[in-house]
Structure 1
Amino acid sequence: MKDLRVGALFRLALLIGGTLGLVLLQLVVMRVTPKYRGVLPLHFHRLTCWCLGVRRRVRGLPPPAGTGALIVANHVSWLDIGVLGAERELAFVAKSEVGEWPVVGFLANLQHTVYIDRQRRGATAGVAAAMGARIAAGEEVVLFAEGTTGDGTRILPFRSSLLGAAHQAMGDVETDVTVYPLTITYTGWQGLPGGRVERAALAWYGDTELWPHLKLVLECGAIDVELVWGEPIVMGRTMSRKAATRRAEDAVRAARNEAVTGRPAV
């Protein structure tokens, strides 16, 4: 246990040092060549996964690069940001409070996060306009459609409001938006398959504080996570936002069941 603590401290120190260096570089990039602002966050998230012992396995086909897409995913933990961000250059949609958090908010701003103020009426329209503009410009925007983090053992109902608003924000009702379902499942830790207890422990939800949870993750030594891309869903002229949301939720639930049981969903 003593060696594990020493190893965890070393990896934390490496993560902090690497983060400081990348932050300084990112500030320069955003001022000098802002079109490349997504490159360094990609390396930051890969560094985070390496330091925390997160091992990613990916199934399915992601969106073609540069085409613009709305990625709809389930949400389990703050770890999700690093896991997804280590795969591709992405923009995330987050609640406005995140932008005010110490350190975390600063890092989120550097990644050009889209914020939504849940306390302000009409906020959805502004967020949707930002999402629509990003997608139209060829960016990939991640929406955690449950609206909150779950307990790691089940999928919460998906919300359809932002999917529809993002489509409306494209400015042309004849324009289709391609939605890509993405399932996040933490399948094991310390090199062993994880059950309900382990998945719940890795989840960050309710009143769980960040530092104790980060300490737990550091001391795990290794965390296995599976990402599953579902079949793309074309939302627009022939499919409503509610129908697209249902299909995305069904795809995520099916992939979660397969990841947990090892058997295709029926």
Structure 2
Amino acid sequence: MARLRIALFLLALVPATLALLPLQALAVRFGWRIGQRIPMLFHRLVCRLLGVRIAQHGEPSPDRPLLIVANHLSWLDISVISTLAPLSFVAKSEVASWPLFGLFARLQRSVFIDRTRRKGAAEANREIAERLAGGDAIVLFAEGTTSDGNRVLAFRSAVVGAARDAISEAGHTGHVIVQPLTVAYPRRGGLPVSRCQRPSIAWHGDMELLPHLAAMIAGPPLDAVVAWGRPIAFDAGSDRKSVTRRVEHEVRATYARIATGREPQV
């Protein structure tokens, strides 16, 4: 049965991928507006094929520039979040070299950070600032890596500094909106996910990507909860560390509520 599910998943996804990839490549190259919608359609298909049911609480801010700061559990987070709005992501540089997944990330106009280079973060911050100033909504996984699902790791404040750079880049605005976003997977197969089950759902540590993907396809469907937090106006006088701590506190509290079966406060 597991092999049949995997086969059906690939049978549906591969033709859709082959049809959408060339169109998205052209859209990115020539700046077509449809390039913002194709990733949404693709990720909605992925979630539907995986049986992921998404509950959204709150909504993304309509204001721009918009930097979305989220927790990170799995590769699945990207598909879940991408179903909701036209977004781009900040990713580590090695993602760009991954087979197929790297291509997907590039065609969704991800910003890649090379943490092995001293100037890598600064260069990425400049690109993030330019994209924010241009009106793009950018998602930052502020933990810097995926957690095991039982906790939210400490948020890093360095990339939040790109929000200040975006203020000077934009010229026409005095602030950037920083919005917390919480992602959680509280139920699987209709049953609450226990503390010992969360690490198998999260993709963390040295787990291999393809076996984890196969297990997600073959396993019971997940319920995903996405909760948008209160937008914060980040201006030239804002302290990035203080804003990062505020966002981290809200995401941590919201994640705890969702993981324990309570409704998130939005």
| Structure 1 residue 33: Cα displacement | 4.6
SS in 2 for 1:226: strand
**Counterpart pick for 2:61 among 58, 63, 67:** 63
1:28 is the counterpart of 2:26: yes
State the alpha-carbon separation in 2 of the partners of residues 99 and 237 from structure 1. Answer: 32
What are the superposed Cα offsets for residues 68-89 of structure 1, whole Å, 9 maximum, x if unpaired? 3000000000001101111111
| Higher mean C-alpha displacement, 39-48 vs 172-181 | 172-181
State the alpha-carbon separation in 2 of the partners of residues 137 and 58 from structure 1. Answer: 26
Q: Which amino acid aligns with 1:262?
A: G
| Structure 1 residue 238: Cα displacement | 4.7
**Counterpart pick for 2:103 among 83, 103, 106:** 106
Would you identify which runs of 4 or more consecutive aligned residues in structure 1 move more than 6 Å?
none
Aligned residues: 263
What are the superposed Cα offsets for residues 21-57 of structure 1, whole Å, 9 maximum, x if unpaired? 1112212333455343211111011111111111111
Q: Which amino acid aligns with 1:20?
A: L
| Structure 1 residue 263: Cα displacement | 4.1
Which residue number corresponds to residue 132 of structure 1? Answer: 129
Please say if residues 12 and 51 of structure 1, whose CA atoms lie closer than 8 Å, have aligned partners that are also in contact: no
Which residue number corresponds to residue 143 of structure 1? Answer: 140
State the alpha-carbon separation in 1 of the partners of residues 121 and 210 from structure 2. Answer: 31
1:246 is the counterpart of 2:245: yes
Which residue number corresponds to residue 91 of structure 1? Answer: 88
State the alpha-carbon separation in 1 of the partners of residues 16 and 201 from structure 2. Answer: 24
Question: Which stretches in structure 2 are left out of the alignment for 5+ residues?
Answer: none
1:224 is the counterpart of 2:185: no
| Structure 1 residue 192: Cα displacement | 1.5
Please say if residues 57 and 225 of structure 1, whose CA atoms lie closer than 8 Å, have aligned partners that are also in contact: yes
Please say if residues 133 and 170 of structure 1, whose CA atoms lie closer than 8 Å, have aligned partners that are also in contact: no
Q: Which amino acid aligns with 2:149?
A: G
Q: Which amino acid aligns with 2:203?
A: W
State the alpha-carbon separation in 2 of the partners of residues 262 and 186 from structure 1. Answer: 11
**Counterpart pick for 2:15 among 14, 17, 21:** 17
Which residue number corresponds to residue 193 of structure 2? Answer: 194
State the alpha-carbon separation in 1 of the partners of residues 67 and 128 from structure 2. Answer: 8
| Structure 1 residue 167: Cα displacement | 1.5
What are the superposed Cα offsets for residues 87-118 of structure 1, whole Å, 9 maximum, x if unpaired? 11101000111101111111111111101110
Question: Which stretches in structure 1 are left out of the alignment for 5+ residues?
Answer: none
State the alpha-carbon separation in 2 of the partners of residues 126 and 170 from structure 1. Answer: 16
Please say if residues 184 and 226 of structure 1, whose CA atoms lie closer than 8 Å, have aligned partners that are also in contact: yes
Q: Which amino acid aligns with 1:39?
A: R
State the alpha-carbon separation in 2 of the partners of residues 236 and 13 from structure 1. Answer: 49
State the alpha-carbon separation in 2 of the partners of residues 80 and 48 from structure 1. Answer: 12
Which residue number corresponds to residue 175 of structure 1? Answer: 174
Q: 1:125 to 1:16 in 2, by over 3 A?
A: same
Which residue number corresponds to residue 40 of structure 1? Answer: 38
What are the superposed Cα offsets for residues 216-238 of structure 1, whole Å, 9 maximum, x if unpaired? 10012311110011111122245
Please say if residues 164 and 236 of structure 2, whose CA atoms lie closer than 8 Å, have aligned partners that are also in contact: no
State the alpha-carbon separation in 1 of the partners of residues 214 and 32 from structure 2. Answer: 34
| Higher mean C-alpha displacement, 123-132 vs 88-97 | 123-132
State the alpha-carbon separation in 1 of the partners of residues 31 and 92 from structure 2. Answer: 28
Aligned CA-pair RMSD: 2.0
1:76 is the counterpart of 2:89: no
Q: 1:263 to 1:106 in 2, by over 3 A?
A: closer
Identity %: 43
| Higher mean C-alpha displacement, 186-195 vs 167-176 | 167-176
